[in-house]
Amino acid sequence: MKHKRNFIKPSWHMPEHLATSESAFLNRRSLIKGLGLSGIALATPPLLGGNARAQEADPSASLYPVDRNEAFTLERKITPEKLNLTYNNFYEFGSHKQIHEAAQALPIRPWEIAIDGEVEKPLTIGIDDLLKKMPLEERLYRHRCVEAWSMRLPWSGFELSHLVQMAKPTSKAKYVRFETFQDTSVAPGQKQFWYPWPYVEAITMEEAMNELTFMVTGAYGKPVSKQMGAPVRLALPWKYGFKSIKSITRISFVEKQPVSFWEKLAENEYGFWANVNPEVAHPRWSQATERDLESGDRIPTELYNGYGEQVASLYTDKQDLGDRLYR
Ligand code: MTE
């Protein structure tokens, strides 16, 4: 569905009740399955088939599961993996939620990550060499989209601070900028020239060094699936989900505040900070509650998505930004 005024706007510009809900989608699937039409009517292989393919290509599979760090737990239960594998935002593969099939086209080996900018020595490292150097652990995190749906997942990976230490940034580095792959031969969404590809996100150095800032390489005790951002993505659980960039190929330490992908498109709606706050509405919808993707329950949103204890101090000297901190 397209926005009346500006067709480049993401589907987030649609109030949730107007979008096809994922439960309607899943019901449609089971109806079609019941009729024995799944292979014909839905050009979608069985879910496990898609996931197994992702794993076959992944030499890191033997690393998982990793030990859980019990310091990062949840009050509510983990969202079923099936939902996470079939309800994704990954605009490189389409501007809707059912991109899991298309995302299987992404080749995840070899996969190199450039680390550059204001560092002592720029380098390029393969994902499997990086995994050998980083201490892997599992954490249970909340995941809250700006669209107001939410999930809870077991991510595996490592704290970004370990990578920052390895990169040895200079004193000029004030921000960390992340970039996703760009390859129109596998990602049809990137042919949509009105989007400012590649997907870019950024955080401050202080945010990068916070213990919550996590580089995700696995989920549900396995390598992270392609649709969730294999082979490495970010998780910033106190911010809206669009900050958690997927399938990262470049990490740059920079002096000036970068402009991110959605910020370029609609900076007054999807800004640089994007910290979760129930009291600061999106310009066109409330953020007071979130919708649990599994149960459909509306749950009151918490400031910093419930992670205030870990992150509030990052923003005490930035209060003059007002609502900009939360959008
Ligand atoms: N990263 C890339 N490269 N491309 C994207 O379209 N979407 C973002 C974020 N990271 C996106 C991305 C948005 S809007 C959200 S809510 C989360 O990924 C969704 O992550 P999930 O599909 O694992 O739930």
- Reading the chain (327 residues) residue by residue, the pLDDT tens digits are 333 334 445 554 444 443 444 344 344 334 334 333 333 333 333 343 344 444 456 899 999 999 999 999 999 999 999 999 999 999 999 999 999 999 999 999 999 999 999 999 999 999 999 999 999 999 999 999 999 999 999 999 999 999 999 999 999 999 999 999 999 999 999 999 999 999 999 999 999 999 999 999 999 999 999 999 999 999 999 999 999 999 999 999 999 999 999 999 999 999 999 999 999 999 999 999 999 999 999 999 999 999 999 999 999 999 999 999 999
Would you state the pLDDT for residue 57?
A: 64
Distance from Cα 32 to the centre of ligand 1, integer Å: 28
Q: Is 95 in the pocket of ligand 1 (CB under 6 A)?
A: no
The amino acid at 286:
S
Q: Is 260 in the pocket of ligand 1 (CB under 6 A)?
A: no
Locate the ligand 1 atom nearest the alpha carbon of residue 201 and give its number: 1
Distance from Cα 120 to the centre of ligand 1, integer Å: 31
CA-closest residue to ligand 1 atom 19: 89
**Model confidence pTM above 0.95:** no
CA-closest residue to ligand 1 atom 2: 246
CATH superfamily of 31-315: Oxidoreductase, molybdopterin-binding domain (3.90.420.10)
Q: How far apart are CA 233 and CA 215, in angstroms?
A: 6
Locate the ligand 1 atom nearest the alpha carbon of residue 262 and give its number: 14
CB 164 within 8 A of CB 176: yes
Distance from Cα 37 to the centre of ligand 1, integer Å: 30
Locate the ligand 1 atom nearest the alpha carbon of residue 247 and give its number: 3
Distance from Cα 183 to the centre of ligand 1, integer Å: 17
CB 238 within 8 A of CB 171: no
DSSP secondary structure code for residue 68 in this structure = B
Which 3 state secondary structure label does DSSP give 265?
helix
Pocket test for ligand 1, best of 13, 82, 89 (most atoms within 8 A of CB): 89
Q: Is 90 in the pocket of ligand 1 (CB under 6 A)?
A: yes
Locate the ligand 1 atom nearest the alpha carbon of residue 147 and give its number: 16
Would you state the pLDDT for residue 58?
A: 85
Would you state the pLDDT for residue 236?
A: 98
CA-closest residue to ligand 1 atom 11: 90
Pocket test for ligand 1, best of 141, 153, 246 (most atoms within 8 A of CB): 246
Q: Is 242 in the pocket of ligand 1 (CB under 6 A)?
A: yes
Other C-beta atoms closer than 10 Å to the C-beta of 42 total: 14
Beta bridge partner(s), residue 292: 150
Residue with tokens 């990550």: 113
Would you state the pLDDT for residue 10?
A: 55
CB 69 within 8 A of CB 159: no
Strands 149-159 vs 289-292: parallel, antiparallel or unpaired: parallel
Locate the ligand 1 atom nearest the alpha carbon of residue 189 and give its number: 6
Q: Is 145 in the pocket of ligand 1 (CB under 6 A)?
A: yes
CA-closest residue to ligand 1 atom 5: 90
Distance from Cα 89 to the centre of ligand 1, integer Å: 4
Q: How far apart are CA 105 and CA 123, in angstroms?
A: 27
Other C-beta atoms closer than 10 Å to the C-beta of 232 total: 28
Q: How far apart are CA 276 and CA 148, in angstroms?
A: 10
